[in-house]
Structure 1
Amino acid sequence: MNILWDFDGTLFNTYPAYVEIIKEFIHEVVSEEELLSHLKISFSHTAQHYKLTENQVKEILDRERMLHPAQTPPFPFVEEVLKFAHINVIMTHKPRGEVLDILRHYEWENYFLDIVAGDDGYPRKPDPASYIFLHNKHRIDLAIGDREIDILPAKSMGIKTCLFQNTTPGADLYVSDYKEFFKTKGIDM
Structure 2
Amino acid sequence: MNVLWDFDGTLFNTYPAFTEVMYELMNNKVAKEAIYKELKISFSHAVEFFGLDEEQVKVFKERERALSPKEKGPFPYVEEVLQKTNVNVIMTHKPRNEVMAILDYYDWHKYFSEIVAGDDGFPRKPDSASYRYLHKRHHLDLAVGDRLLDIIPAKEIGLSTCLFQNEAKGADYYLQSYQDFFAVIK
Q: TM-score per shorter chain, which class?
A: over 0.9
Q: Aligned ranges for residues 26-175 of structure 1 at < 5 Å?
A: 26=26, 29-175=29-175
Q: Does the aligned pair in 1 maintain the 2:173–2:185 contact within 8 Å?
A: no
Unaligned runs of 5+ in 1: none
Q: Secondary structure at the match of 1:24?
A: helix
**C-alpha separation between the residues in 1 aligned to 2:158 and 2:150?**
14
CA distances 1:43-74 after superposition (whole Å, capped 9, x unpaired): 00000000000110111011111111101000
**C-alpha separation between the residues in 2 aligned to 1:172 and 1:37?**
23
Query: Shift of the alpha carbon at 1:32?
Result: 2.1
Query: Shift of the alpha carbon at 1:29?
Result: 3.4
Please list every run of at least 4 consecutive aligned residues from structure 1 whose deviation after the TM superposition is greater than 4 angstroms.
none
Query: Shift of the alpha carbon at 1:40?
Result: 1.2
Query: Shift of the alpha carbon at 1:34?
Result: 1.8
CA distances 1:150-183 after superposition (whole Å, capped 9, x unpaired): 0000011110000001111100000011012122
**C-alpha separation between the residues in 2 aligned to 1:180 and 1:36?**
25
Aligned pair in 2 of structure 1 residues 27, 69: CA closer, same or farther (>3 Å)?
Answer: closer
Q: Does the aligned pair in 1 maintain the 2:15–2:40 contact within 8 Å?
A: no
Unaligned runs of 5+ in 2: none
Q: Taking structure 1 as the reference length, what is the TM-score of the superposition?
A: 0.95
What letter is aligned with 1:15? Y
Q: Secondary structure at the match of 1:93?
A: coil
Query: Shift of the alpha carbon at 1:30?
Result: 2.6
Aligned-pair identity in percent equals 56
Aligned length: 186
Q: Does the aligned pair in 2 maintain the 1:25–1:52 contact within 8 Å?
A: no
What letter is aligned with 2:62? D
**C-alpha separation between the residues in 2 aligned to 1:32 and 1:77?**
26
Q: Secondary structure at the match of 1:40?
A: helix
Moved more, 45-54 or 31-40: 31-40
**C-alpha separation between the residues in 2 aligned to 1:24 and 1:133?**
38
Aligned pair in 2 of structure 1 residues 74, 28: CA closer, same or farther (>3 Å)?
Answer: closer
Query: Shift of the alpha carbon at 1:184?
Result: 1.2
**C-alpha separation between the residues in 1 aligned to 2:40 and 2:177?**
16
Aligned pair in 2 of structure 1 residues 49, 86: CA closer, same or farther (>3 Å)?
Answer: same
CA distances 1:75-119 after superposition (whole Å, capped 9, x unpaired): 000001101110000000001011111101101111000000000
**C-alpha separation between the residues in 1 aligned to 2:32 and 2:167?**
18
Q: Where does residue 177 of structure 2 map in the other structure?
A: 177
